[in-house]
Amino acid sequence: MPASARRRAIQAIAAQGPILPAESNRGQLTDIYGCNVFNERSQRQRLPKEAFKKLRQTMQTGHSLDPSIADAVASAMRDWAVEHGATHFTHWFQPMTGQTAEKHDSFLSLTSDDHIINEFSGSALIRGEPDASSFPSGGLRSTFEARGYTQWDPTSPAFLREGPNGVTLFIPTAFCSWTGEALDKKTPLLRSEEAVNNAAVRLLNMIDGPQVDHVYSTIGLEQEYFLVDRRLADLRPDLLSCGRTLFGANPPKGQELADNYFGAINERVLGYMQDLEYELWKLGIPAKTRHNEVAPGQFELAPIFKKATVSVDQNMLIMEMMRIIADRHGMKCLMHEKPFNGVNGSGKHNNWSLSDNLGRNLLDPGITPEDSLQFLLFLTATIRAVDIHADLLRVSVASSANDHRLGANEAPPAIISIFLGSQLEGVVDSLLGRESDAGKHVGEIKLGVSAMPPLPRDITDRNRTSPFAFTGNKFEFRAVGSSQSTAYPTTVLNAIVADSLNFLSDQIEARKNGGELRDIVHGLVVETLKKHERVLFSGDNYADAWTVEAEKRGLPNLKDTASALPHFVADHNIALFESTGVFSKREAESRLNVMCENYAQQIRIEAATSTQMVSTMIMPAALRQQSLLAQAIQQSRHALPDADLGPQEDMLRKLNALVAKLSASLKSMESIVESFDDKDRAHLELVNFCRDEVIPTRALLRQHVDLLEDLIDDSFWPLPKYREMLFHR
């Protein structure tokens, strides 16, 4: 019986032996860091000086790669990889599935006399050709049009992946169709980098003179996740098919005591974290922070900031390695935004900023931000961008999974607003001619303990409820989901800020004969802030009053994915995509189609999994309990005619009523699953059908199952319970 399998799994976890120590011969961090990356050190050692210089220029500035060095780079990369044990290479890309893709080819080549040699040419490095027909294209390609190309992205370094029986060279690439249209998430990101670079350099050279020749975005991604013992996870069809539990009654103890957050890390979990960090360090991923998160069984890993295009690649690697290392430790890593109902879900905070070739963070306010033309212009551009394209930012994090998390008092709400903090609030108030106490609390924190010196106070406190918060020298986009690629959110941020930077440059150029540059910039900043300050909010984003206030301000409140998706192809967003070169109209429309398809398929899979679990696991357990209880009542009534059987009969009546409701809900759910085959619904119609009919029916089905869990004998219940999955280590 499944219930006995559940109990055996729990007993095995309780009986497992001590945690084995990790290998002791791993060496120093400084020795292993980046050892599996074809990084600057490896390039310098192996490439001719001129080829090295040109490759580094491309990697650092994004300038076009000189094709003449391709053979030299390929030869050096091959020799380096083979010396490390590699036998195969793959062009590693990010299709619109939201995952990564790879096709492995060996270096093997035959000579005319049938001898084997290792061969890897410049043309093989630059271009690959996977079959494009099975990847989602959203209408860009027909199924029979199979040709697709991968093209080397020299801005992101190649790396080695160690498998159980060998090593493979991974070459980060873009993925496009035969017609040259982007079929991936990486190409739009690279285009957005060019857009924000061009716009930022133009503005900086206008106010600083021609000293800046390159600007790039940086991000730091905080990855939240859950760990569950695999022996329990394997008994949950919903975890295996959907990545989250579709049923589960809340345990008596969850996160109410806040005793998990930053708590002592369990030894088994710590062993997993240490192994994960070791593998990430070898891949040149600067894993920095680890800690327990709010919910039991929930954790976080955060790396150091890097160039956005590299950070996006590395985050995809982080998620892959998390799953692989968890499997080695007998655990399952859950990155779904809401794997457990009733406890906090997981996000992936996208900490975004801009830097230039002079080493400046362009969103660093400095000591006197009100006097920095550069900072005021870039801050103003960001505020304008978020106000005009709040709907697009919301779409960039929209998914069926993230709908469970956004606005649930564990993540920011769907209303996109900006928190600046007290110091910058004071600057804005001053620019707009308002009296304000904001920013007057900078100084020291004194704890009243003589042995402890005063602490310097940060320029602002944090606002954990804000979706887009300024945190010292960057903006933290907190609405990003834990399982999603960060390519689209970063692409959108780059594109909308590039658009606003160009707007400000146009305005300065149009007014350049109207006085001193500082006066022109000051007037433009004040004018732009007045027009877009409605998006600034420093209060509690969870409060009902904010929803009312946001509506008065005219801010969009796109509560779910179905409401958000149509905005991706709104006229003002299509105009943005085309003006920045991030998407053509056809490419944008294809992305909308893919997002709709992904959403509907996720909902369909969850609906079908729900019906199977109820039919084959939940209902049999309920009927068994029902039968045994009825039989016990009948036997008691026969043996003890005068006994008070009221409590037992009440329980049976309650159970009978729930079973009847469950049966009715199951029939409704089965009917809905069948209706997914209706081909007449357009993409957005299917999305609305999922939201309006499928999700409410599934929620009702869950409600009945979760109530039954607390009525049925524990030994009959077939599914591992929340209390077991969240607390058994």
Among 17-21, 179-183, 252-256, 502-506, the range of highest mean pLDDT: 502-506
Structure confidence at residue 547 (pLDDT): 93
Domain boundaries, the chain: 33-184
pLDDT of residue 335: 96
Contact 535, 386 (CB under 8 A): yes
Closest CA to 687 of 368, 311, 403: 403
> d(Cα 211, Cα 566) in Å, to the nearest integer?
42
Residue pointed to by tokens 């099975």: 134
Q: What pLDDT does 30 receive?
A: 80
Does the pLDDT of residue 623 top 90, yes or no? yes
Q: What per-residue confidence (pLDDT) applies to 225? A: 97
**pLDDT for 705:** 97
Give the CA distances from residue 265 to residues 127, 274, 290, 331, 526, in Å, rounded to whole numbers and listed in that order: 45, 11, 9, 15, 49
Per residue in 630-661, pLDDT (tens digit) is 888 788 777 777 767 678 888 889 999 999 99
Which CATH homologous superfamily contains domain 33-184?
Answer: Glutamine synthetase, N-terminal domain (3.10.20.70)
pTM of the model: 0.92
Task: Give DSSP secondary structure letters for 165-197.
Answer: TEEEEEEEEEEEETTS-B-BSHHHHHHHHHHHH
At 592, the amino acid letter reads L
Range ranked top by mean pLDDT from 164-178, 309-323, 450-464, 511-525: 309-323
Between 639 and 499, where is the model more confident? Answer: 499
pLDDT tens digits for range 597-617: 999 999 999 999 999 999 999
pLDDT at 706 exceeding the cut of 80: yes
Averaged pLDDT score across all residues of the chain:
88
pLDDT of residue 451: 64
Q: Determine the average pLDDT of the residues in 157-167.
A: 93
Question: How far is Cα of residue 87 from the mean position of the Cα atoms in its chain?
Answer: 32
529 pLDDT higher than 70: yes
Q: Residues 110-115: what's their mean pLDDT? A: 56
pLDDT at 113: 56
Confidence of residue 419 (pLDDT cuts 50, 70, 90): very high
How buried is 710 (Cβ within 10 angstroms: 0-12 exposed, 13-18 middle, 19+ buried)? exposed
Average pLDDT over residues 203-219: 90
Query: Which of 64-78, 385-399, 500-514, 620-634 is predicted most confidently?
Result: 385-399
CA 33 to CA 607: how far, in whole Å? 45
Burial of 670 (0-12, 13-18, 19+ CB in 10 A): middle
Q: Confidence band (pLDDT; 50, 70, 90) for 1?
A: very low
Residue 457, pLDDT > 70, answer no
Per-residue confidence band for 490, with pLDDT thresholds at 50, 70 and 90: very high
CB 276 within 8 A of CB 323: no
Mean pLDDT, range 290-314, rounded to an integer = 94
